[in-house]
Structure formats: structure tokens, C-alpha cells
Amino acid sequence: MERDDQLELYGFVADQLKAAHARVRTLQVPEGVRMALTRKLLVITAAAKHDLADAARRLEGFMEDLDEGRYPEDVPADGTP
């Protein structure tokens, strides 16, 4: 049963990550902000390989920030950190 729950969570996180990437692609923001958001998603994706529950929590927070219009500020136009 636990394995089924893990697979279900994996599927949910994968679907959410796909939706988040699509949403970031369509945002009307400077390219540097888009790159910073994409980097955050890549970090969450990498975290999912080691701690799926933590990645799900981080992704939820990321999506809440997008919903509220909270984007990284003071990001150079070329996206360098």
C-alpha cells in the first residue's frame, strides 16, 4: 500500500512540475526573472529524486508564490545569479 501512495505522489508531483514549467514559460516577466523561476523549478525537480514529500511541499510554496505574483526581484537581465 505504501508503494502505491509513493507512486501516486510521484505522479502528482510530476504533473504539477509540468504545469509549473508551462506556467513559467507563459509569464509576462523579464527574461532574468523567468530564468530564476526556472532554476527554482530545477532545484525542486532535483529534490524530488531524494525527498519526494519535501519536493511536493516546496512546489506547493512555489505555486503559491506564482499565484500571489511574488517573483524574484533584482535579477540581472541575463539571469546570472
Q: What pLDDT digit, counting tens, does each position of 17-36 carry?
A: 999 999 999 999 999 999 99
Cell of 68: 500571489
* pTM, 2 dp: 0.82
Contact, 61 vs 40, CB < 8 A?
no
At 81 the pLDDT is 57
Q: Where are the alpha helices (DSSP H) in the chain?
A: 2-26, 31-48, 52-68
CA atoms within a 13 Å half-sphere pointing along the CA-CB vector of 61 = 8
Q: What is the pLDDT of residues 31-69, one digit of tens each?
A: 999 999 999 999 999 999 999 999 999 999 999 999 999
The identity of residue 57, as a single letter, is R
Q: What percent of the chain has pLDDT over 90?
A: 74
| Lookup: cell for 24 | 513559467
Contacts of 65 (CB under 8 A, 6+ apart): 71
Amino acid 80: pLDDT: 59
The values of phi and psi at residue 17, to 5°, are -65, -40
